[in-house]
Each structure stands twice: as structure tokens, then as C-alpha cells.
Amino acid sequence: MKNFLSIFLSILFLSAPLKSEEKNQDIKMFVGQWLTNCSSQSKDAEKICTLERSIFADQNQRSKLASVVFQTSSKRDKAQFTLLSPLGTLIQAGVKIGFDEKPLNEKAYAFNLCQQVGCITSFPIDQSVLDRFKKGKNLDLEYISPTNQKIKIKFNLDGFTKAFEKIAQN
């Protein structure tokens, strides 16, 4: 396990879209496209739509570092926001979320669950938070490394409004 963590952190720090507070150095990241999907079990059933974007450690987009997912439902007013965070960060520290250097909340959001693919944070978002996604240039994610360094990931929001409208109308 210790070996895996060392390898993951090496990959993460060498090729991920991170900014270390100590070195204040940007590292290359690769941003995927906004992907949409809508489905329902039957004509009268609840229709669920998702919008997803991921960032990758490689140009071929095979090594996913983090993903954001928005889910809308024909039977719910609020959208659900889900963040899949990379492993190798302090679980108890959670993740701070903000937009263009302005925090969404002063406290970090807890991880709901951690699995092999990463740690999941999920919560419903109201219209004011949705508006921040639409107006923002970047979603800012801040983690704490096992060595207590801040790790910052800037998640580009270009095209979010247009992509979200596709799933909001369905």
C-alpha cells in the first residue's frame, strides 16, 4: 500500500494539474470535454441527465485525476453536484471548493466515500451555486497532501453554461 501511495503521489506531482503552495509552480494538465447523457426507464419514468468533465494526467486522457458530475432529474428541483477527487490526499482534511479564488464555503467539504477510483464528495446545489458555476472561469479545488502541503487544482469551466442547459431542458 505504501508503495502504491508513493507511485501515485509521484505521478500526481509530476504530471497532474496541480499547484503546490511551496513551489508556486503550475504543472501541465489535460482537460476533457463536457459529456452529457440523459436516460429514463420508461416514457413516464423520472428522466435523469448527467453532465461530466474530467481532468487527466496524460494527453491521451487515460489517467483521470478528477471529475465533476452534475445530475438533473425531472422530479427534483435542485441539481446534484458530485466531485471525484484523486487518492493520496488527507481524507480528514476533505476538499475546499471555490470559484475564481473565492471559496464556496470557508470549511472544507467532507468525502462521502473513498474507493479505488478516488474519493467522492456529493451534495445538492441551489440556484446561487449553479450561477457561480455559470459565471466562473475556474472551479478551484484545494486538498492537503500527506506532508501537509496545499495542493490546488483549477478546473476550467469553459462551455459549462451551454452544456448544462442541454441537461436542464431534458
Q: What is the pLDDT of residues 46-76, one digit of tens each?
A: 889 999 999 888 888 778 889 999 999 877 8
Report the alpha-carbon distance of residue 27 to residue 14 in Å, rounded: 7
Spell out, as residue ranges, where the chain has pLDDT lower than 70. 1-27, 42, 170
- The CA-to-CA distance between both ends of the chain, in Å, stands at 44
pLDDT at 7: 33
C-alpha grid cell for residue 10? 509521484
pLDDT at 68: 95
Element (H or E) spanning 124, and its range? Answer: strand 118-125
pLDDT at 26: 53
Q: With H, G, I as helix, E, B as strand and everything else as coil, classify residue 107.
A: coil
φ, ψ dihedrals at 28, nearest 5°? -60, 135
C-alpha grid cell for residue 16? 497532474
pLDDT at 27: 57
pLDDT at 21: 40
φ, ψ dihedrals at 162, nearest 5°? -65, -45
Residue with cell 506532508: 147
pLDDT at 5: 33
Length of the chain: 170
